[in-house]
Structure 1
Amino acid sequence: MIGKIAGALFGFLLVRHFLGALAGLWIGHLFDKALQRMNDKGNVEEWLISNDAKQSIFFYTTFSVMGHVAKASGRVTPEHIKTANDFMAQMRLNEQQVAEAKDAFREGKLLGFPLKKKIKQFKNHFGNRRDLCQFFLEIQIQTAYSDSILEADEYNLLINIAKQLGFNKRNLTQLIAMWEAEMRFQNYKQQQQEKYKQYDRKSSSSQEAKAPSLLDAYAVIGVSDRDSVRDIKRAYKRLMSQNHPDKLVAKGLPPEMMEVAKQKTQDIQSAYEIIKKARDF
């Protein structure tokens, strides 16, 4: 608007005619548009480095890649859908967020989904946050294990994602082992909760999940029975710090995913208590 007024005035004074004013008005209009584009660009760049942008990118990339992982073996199974829905429920998403998550999941299932481009965009924002990259990768591992079986196509896709995020095959193998053990912790905990909800204990399932073993506990912490107490304590503290919900959110994790992080820290704590009892420290 300032450009239009100044241009019209300058044009009129220059040629002392209304045509000069019109010419100046047009030039001022172009100036205003250029100025607006510069402001818009500044606003976009400012938004792209904001926490809101980072959290939106984390959220949408997570669900779109989940859809891609679910489709890796050829078709999306009911188990994959259940995992995605359970994940949304755990995050306590509102209707709009659920719709956005489902849109992202559907996009990931499409033929020609630009996985490399999506991961690159994700890495541009979180590449220096290894804990967030690992959190993201663990969610994809969980998706691949929806039916409790890791198929070859799913595994190869996970390797691809892991490498793009800076994790090697050995890192992925350890994360898979940790998730398999954590899955047994969660299955046991869930069954115990359902059992106590039963008024008639006789009607509970006869096929009860086994209590997590000491080996499972070691796997969740990422250590072995050969490691010293000192090393186990270090690994435990590192994991608890790495998965602390408030810290992750401050680094760009969507607040809705805090519940997922809390579940992770609870499993780590439970595993650590089992090890402490077994090793008497």
Structure 2
Amino acid sequence: MHYWGKVLGFIFGFMLFKLPGALLGVIIGYYFDKGYAKALSDNGGFARLLSGRNNLKNRMIFFHTLFSIMGHIAKSSGRVTENDIALASALMDKMGLSGELRQEAQNAYRAGKQADFPVAETVKEFKQYCFGRRDFLAVYFEIQLQAALANGQLHHNAESILTKIGKTLGFNPAEVATYISQAKASGQYQYQQKHQQHTQQSQQNQLPQLYQILGIEQSASDQAVKKAYKKLMAQHHPDKLASQGLPEQALTLAKERAQQIQAAYEIIKKSRGL
């Protein structure tokens, strides 16, 4: 919390004008604290301030949280299978993790599988590390969902854990439900892209999923479609995410998501004759 402006305002105001001055000083200090907090947030919070001096540590914090939660989710279905481990390794490969970062990710995954793994505390600490940057947290949550849905299915225990994680990160129930719906639609769309012929008819059949990828109903107005698209593209802008502290290895996944959003929007736009 930022309160030093109010404290100093009270002290100096009281020294100059006694109680009326103290009250005026608190009011001035309130607006100072508010402006200071916004300025810090707009510049990426503490993750941004630390990124230049301790970049390796910041990346380790990110990947430790990411893969420990992944291990915990994999274990939630009963046991961690060889397929679960292969999916985690594939994600590490996709991000290009090697050396210390890969070792940290592997250790974190093993830690997350333990019965006493403190999932709630881990997520809360990560949120504090991110200084509440919503776009950063949203992309992190999307990566978790993407990893959980890598095999095309989402176990009900995993969905329950992910729902709690989304709420702990600060998203309301409707937002969490939308993120999960988007991730499911994204996974289904990717699967169909790999296994079906790309015809005009197949694109028409995939329209419901494409609307879900944008997080809107198929009955949405043209203006609502465009607004949803712009919001998602801004949320996944690589320069913005990098400035907020998202490791370069994770930016690859954010860029892939942006490409999928772009593709979904283009097909929807074409189907509407826009």
Report the TM-score when normalising by structure 2.
Answer: 0.74
2:43 aligns with none
State whether residues 127 and 133 of structure 1, in contact with CA within 8 Å, keep that contact through their aligned partners in structure 2: no
Residue among 204, 208, 233 paired with 1:240: 233
1:273 aligns with 266
- Between the aligned partners of 1:107 and 1:48, the Cα distance in structure 2 is 27
Gaps of 5+ in 1: 1-45, 196-209
Q: Does residue 50 in structure 1 map to residue 50 in structure 2?
A: yes
- Between the aligned partners of 1:189 and 1:146, the Cα distance in structure 2 is 15
Residue among 209, 215, 238 paired with 1:216: 209
**RMSD (Å) for aligned C-alpha atoms:** 2.2
- Between the aligned partners of 1:171 and 1:107, the Cα distance in structure 2 is 29
How many angstroms does 1:97 deviate by?
2.4
How many angstroms does 1:47 deviate by?
9.3
Alignment of 1:143-158 (within 5 A): 143-158=147-162
How many angstroms does 1:259 deviate by?
0.9
Secondary structure of the equivalent of 2:83? Answer: helix
How many angstroms does 1:91 deviate by?
0.8
- Between the aligned partners of 1:228 and 1:75, the Cα distance in structure 2 is 45
Secondary structure of the equivalent of 1:50? Answer: helix
How many angstroms does 1:234 deviate by?
1.0
Q: Residue 102 of structure 1 aligns to which amino acid in structure 2? A: Q
- Between the aligned partners of 2:237 and 2:164, the Cα distance in structure 1 is 27
How many angstroms does 1:189 deviate by?
3.8
Secondary structure of the equivalent of 1:225? Answer: coil
State whether residues 216 and 228 of structure 2, in contact with CA within 8 Å, keep that contact through their aligned partners in structure 1: yes
Q: Residue 118 of structure 1 aligns to which amino acid in structure 2? A: T
Q: Does residue 65 in structure 1 map to residue 58 in structure 2?
A: no
CA gap 1:230/1:187 in 2 versus in 1, 3 angstroms: same
1:228 aligns with 221
Alignment of 1:25-44 (within 5 A): none
Secondary structure of the equivalent of 2:263? Answer: helix
1:9 aligns with none
Secondary structure of the equivalent of 2:72? Answer: helix
Q: Residue 117 of structure 2 aligns to which amino acid in structure 1? A: F
Residue among 93, 96, 100 paired with 1:92: 96
State whether residues 249 and 255 of structure 1, in contact with CA within 8 Å, keep that contact through their aligned partners in structure 2: yes
- Looking at CA atoms only, which structure, 1 or 2, has the larger radius of gyration? 1
Secondary structure of the equivalent of 2:267? Answer: helix
1:70-126 deviation per Cα after TM superposition (whole angstroms, max 9, x unaligned): 111111123322321221121112243222211111111112111122111101122
Q: Does residue 78 in structure 1 map to residue 82 in structure 2?
A: yes
Give the aligned length: 220
Q: Does residue 141 in structure 1 map to residue 134 in structure 2?
A: no
How many angstroms does 1:169 deviate by?
2.5
> Following TM superposition, where does structure 1 have runs of at least 4 consecutive aligned residues deviating by more than 4 angstroms?
46-49
Gaps of 5+ in 2: 1-45
How many angstroms does 1:127 deviate by?
4.3
Q: Residue 236 of structure 1 aligns to which amino acid in structure 2? A: Y
How many angstroms does 1:190 deviate by?
4.0
Q: Does residue 257 in structure 1 map to residue 233 in structure 2?
A: no
- Between the aligned partners of 1:234 and 1:143, the Cα distance in structure 2 is 27
State whether residues 218 and 224 of structure 1, in contact with CA within 8 Å, keep that contact through their aligned partners in structure 2: yes
